[in-house]
Structure 1
């Protein structure tokens, strides 16, 4: 279990307008961490930090989070699909790249009422729905779920033919492991974060963190 700590919301926001929360932890001695949690940028600092140290390190770690996001978007080679129209357009790109363009959905949308699964497809109607809970996750994870549902438009069952379709996507196994880690953490009430290389976090106190040493 995570150790006790103090949490405080601040008037700060990230460059994108997301709220910032500072967490002081007695378990931390010389390290500062930053990570995303439910749309909030969280900066974890040692409990003994002065106000000046807090301000300095919060700004420094927010810059790291911002840089991480920029690198991730460049590495993905695409802008995150935020709207339904963008998501549908991105689905067409993925279908063409990995499925030979054979999966042609009639509708692709984000939904907020899908809490028990990441995505769903209705082959008879050609529709795909993705949970809004995917939106903060790495693009390669979103792409996997979207490809998974696109593949279901071609093969309804999770059989060998279905998995052969997904074998073309190089991040399939990594994304499956990522989502399993998130589900495991969420089921136990733990923060399900993402670390700086996009892997499920293991540290209960600092999930998904970018960490630096305070000197």
Structure 2
């Protein structure tokens, strides 16, 4: 898949790093302090979910989970305390990108791909191999269905976990459907962060200042793999490497 498609990814691991703060009960804020409405998304547009628990007394925690930023607070918190601690914990959480939980080895990558296949593809996609590569300059990932092999660009390693998961899923789906027709997208329809991840990667490609490549082939001349069927889809095009 070229960097224009996914059109140009939720670690990674589905659940990322967690932050925790103790003693929240004594670190409140005056009731008359105006903090404004709670943020509904992070700076990167990831949905924010606030969970109240009456079993929690003083501990506040934040974690990346299933493509969302989850903030857990004690059930007795006032609205003002909730606003204060949600903002504090979001700042801490955003300092630890969701992508920090991305699989670091090929073995971890394989385990993650099998888990994603089980959860979203009924376990039908089972790659013969999946590995990180550093020589894919025009795509986030690529697959060779005939061989059952998948290559994931190490350039996505620092992206949010839900984006990395989308890239892995996209390539897994190619093992079942080579092109980008209706059946291909139907395979991915169950992934809750599908459209968000595609938009994230589009923005990432644009931010790199390289535009969309003109080469319709999805095979990367650097990795010696043949072109993938359906590669002419604009979703598989990516930024042209800087010269």
Q: Is the 8 A contact 2:97 2:160 kept in 1?
A: no
Residue number in structure 2 paired with 1:25: none
Greater fraction of residues in strand: 1
Question: Within 5 A, what are the aligned runs for 1:1-215?
Answer: 67-68=93-94, 72=98, 79-187=101-209
Q: 1:72 and 1:111, CA in 2 relative to 1: closer, same or farther beyond 3 A? A: closer
1-side partners of 2:95 and 2:200: how far apart? 18
Structure 2: distance between partners of 1:181 and 1:158: 21
Contact 2:97 2:158 in 1 (8 A): no
Over aligned residue pairs, what C-alpha RMSD do you find?
A: 2.5
Q: Conserved in 1, the CA contact under 8 Å of 2:128 and 2:147?
A: yes
Structure 2 distance, partners of 1:72, 1:153, is 27
Shift of 1:185: 1.3
Deviations 1:144-187 (A, max 9, x none): 00000000000000000000001010111000000000111112
Q: How many residues align?
A: 124
Distance 1:85 1:134 in 2: 17
Give me the whole-angstrom Cα distance separating, in 1, the residues matched to 2:135 and 2:97: 31
| Structure 2 spans left out of the alignment, 5+ residues | 1-42, 44-88, 212-243
Whether the 8 Å contact between 2:97 and 2:159 is mirrored in structure 1 is no
Structure showing greater Rg: 2
Relative to structure 1, the CA distance from residue 65 to residue 128 in structure 2 (aligned partners, 3 Å threshold; closer, same or farther) is: farther
Unaligned stretches of 5+ in structure 1?
1-34, 36-62, 190-215
> Structure 1 residues 71, 138: CA separation in 2 closer, same or farther (over 3 Å shift)?
closer
Q: TM-score, normalised by structure 2?
A: 0.47
TM-score (norm 1): 0.53
Moved over 6 A (4+): none
SS in 2 for 1:110: strand
SS in structure 1 opposite 2:132?
strand
